[in-house]
Amino acid sequence: MNLQNLYSLTRKAVDTYQMIDDNDQIAVGISGGKDSLTLLYALHGLMRFYPKKYTLKAITVDLGFQDFDLSSIKQLCEQLSVPYTILPTNIGEILFEERKESNPCSLCAKLRKGALNKAAKELGCNKVAYAHHREDLIETMLLSLFYEGRFYAFSPYTYLDRMDLTVIRPLMLIPEADIKGFQNKYKLPVCKNPCPVDGHTKREYVKKLTKQWEYENPGVKSRLFHAILTGNIPGWPLSSPTVSLTEKNNGKKERN
């Protein structure tokens, strides 16, 4: 995937679900992985020609693990003229030393998002951009089906009324394979995930499962994604990328 394709798919998601308004100050959550760095490139490039004017700030929530070198990301943000904040936390210590969590992902995500959202508000931002791509939505839906017995995937945007902050997901239409291609083509400065359970989670299990399904039934991922877009999931705006913007409904407010 090249820059033009990245901008096109990002703008399609942003326009379809009206994710960006004039004078938005958007915090981009940077984990150090390929997805969040692609999101930074996408929103930075779109900012130059998008009719609605907005600004960007990048934030990394440092979980406190050793050997997490963010110098290359700091350099990238300087090149893009995007202000960059590293937020130190002891989340890793809480999860693995104090609580000794055997399945830490859910609590970790909650703590990271809480820290990121709080930092975004303190920096004057009214929106936070998460780097969830197409496969993230599919995997979330399957995890909900398998382990909770409900049909759910996170919405293209979510208003957190307690914080007066809106979460947006501009990469939601982009397949993960295209992001990997973008990473390789543009040599993104990806930082290795230092989490000790990386690659050994329920999400990783579902990721491998969907890859096998796609191999055995080509196109199954696209059909699963279509089911999400048209599935009337609670909290979702009542539109999809195939529906006219004039038919779009405002998304319901959700409590964080």
User: Would you kindly state where each structural domain of the chain is located, as residue ranges?
Assistant: 3-247
CB 47 within 8 A of CB 58: no
pLDDT at position 197: 67
Average pLDDT on 28-51 reads 95
pLDDT the model gives residue 97: 72
pLDDT of residue 254: 38
CATH architecture of 3-247: 3-Layer(aba) Sandwich (3.40)
Residues 6 or more apart from 202 whose CB is under 8 A from it? 103, 105, 143, 147
Does this model's pTM top 0.85? My answer is yes
pLDDT at 107 over 90: no
| Residue among 85, 80, 28, 19 nearest 50 (CA) | 19
Q: Which residue type is seen at 110?
A: K
